[in-house]
Amino acid sequence: MSPSPGPLPPPRRGRSHPPSLIRLAERLIRDERLLSRGDVVLCACSGGPDSSALLHVLAMLRPRIGHEVVAHGVDHGLRAAAAAELSLARDLAERLGVPFSTTRVDVVPGANLQARARAARFAALAAASAALGARAIATGHTADDRAETLLLRLLRGAGPRGLAVLPPRAPLPRAAAAAARSGDAPGPAAQFELIRPLLLARRVDVLAHLDRHRLAFAEDPSNTDPRFTRVRVRRELLPLLEDLSPAIVEHLCALSDMLVADRERPSDDDPAVLDGGEPLSIPLGRAQRFAIERARKLGRPLRVRVRGGGEIALGFPEESSVLIEDRSTRRGA
């Protein structure tokens, strides 16, 4: 356990004056509409660096966004130090005026330990969210976590759907939703979702935030255990890739964004519609579809170039895709 931030890693190349963690989180929350005024969000907090920074950021953003924050920690019963780490999280929550609670679960050591611990953790977080009236569960995943997860999936042979990892918002895992639905707490579990407000930030941004605000945190020793494949990806593979391509984390996150947008785009049975109810049948490339999906989420109009040198303008009133203007030209017409 580390009572205070340790030495910071060297600054990343290409970002001499990076935006603050608070600014990065606020940008993503607003762009992706992760939180609205009056929402209650449960911050999953273990006392580690990412979740401690997330708790502090969500508390600092309350006046700007208008949400409420509660925090919850889960002790898996696997390490004696977990109780002291959760005490750090509780101390921080009390300083920030955030209600804090914990759940103790029993995860028996054995095969597939990390997956079983994750399932137990989400079930406990879902139950706590239902009891506390939270609409969303926030986790401290960063861009580094997203890149690492994509590489892990790639190493295991995942296809495009499997590589659409850690989007800014996602439904609860089925088992966690079922656990919350079967409980006595009010509120339908289907309303819960996972949000990841720190996805625009790198791990170095988190450490800089902790150092700047003098926030204590704990380090889980399993994060440095080379027996776990994720640790080897983090400490061996990703640094090698960054030597070859300094922006590899950003590239991997952009790839995941495109795959998420591709997975969520309307199917042929539910196409986007033009004004008047006609289907949008103009062939679009992946980059165009990604741009349209992002503009739809932001509710902003967009101009898209199409084959043949033409251009169309799209608007998104009330979640529909509407053709505002068609400037497309067809050769030989």
The Cα–Cα gap between 319 and 325 comes to 18
User: Does the residue 333 lie in any domain?
Assistant: no
The Cα–Cα gap between 296 and 320 comes to 8
Query: Which of 77-86, 87-96, 182-191 shows the lowest per-residue confidence on average (mean pLDDT)?
Result: 182-191
Beta bridge mates, 304: 312
Backbone angles phi, psi at 258, to 5 degrees: -65, -40
- What are the pLDDT digits (tens) for 219-275? 878 778 888 899 999 999 999 999 999 999 999 999 999 999 887 665 444 434 333
Q: Do 72 and 143 reside in the same domain of the chain? A: yes
Q: Do 224 and 308 reside in the same domain of the chain? A: no
CATH number, position 167: 3.40.50.620
Considering the entire predicted model, what is its pTM? 0.74
Q: Do 133 and 282 reside in the same domain of the chain? A: no
Q: Do 144 and 96 reside in the same domain of the chain? A: yes
- What are the pLDDT digits (tens) for 120-148? 899 999 999 999 999 999 999 999 999 99
Q: Do 67 and 134 reside in the same domain of the chain? A: yes
Torsion angle of C-alpha atoms 183, 186, 189, 193, degrees rounded to 10: -130
pLDDT at 119: 87
CA distances from 85 to 51, 102, 137, 186 (A): 11, 12, 20, 30
Nearest-10 crossing angle of helices 174-182, 113-132: 40
Contact 30, 68 (CB under 8 A): no
- 226, 253, 280 - which closes a domain: 253
Q: Do 246 and 293 reside in the same domain of the chain? A: no
Domain residues for 68?
21-253
The first and second tokens of residue 222, run together, are 């399993």
Q: Do 106 and 233 reside in the same domain of the chain? A: yes
pLDDT at 46: 93
Contact 43, 68 (CB under 8 A): no
CA distances from 193 to 5, 28, 99 (A): 31, 16, 20
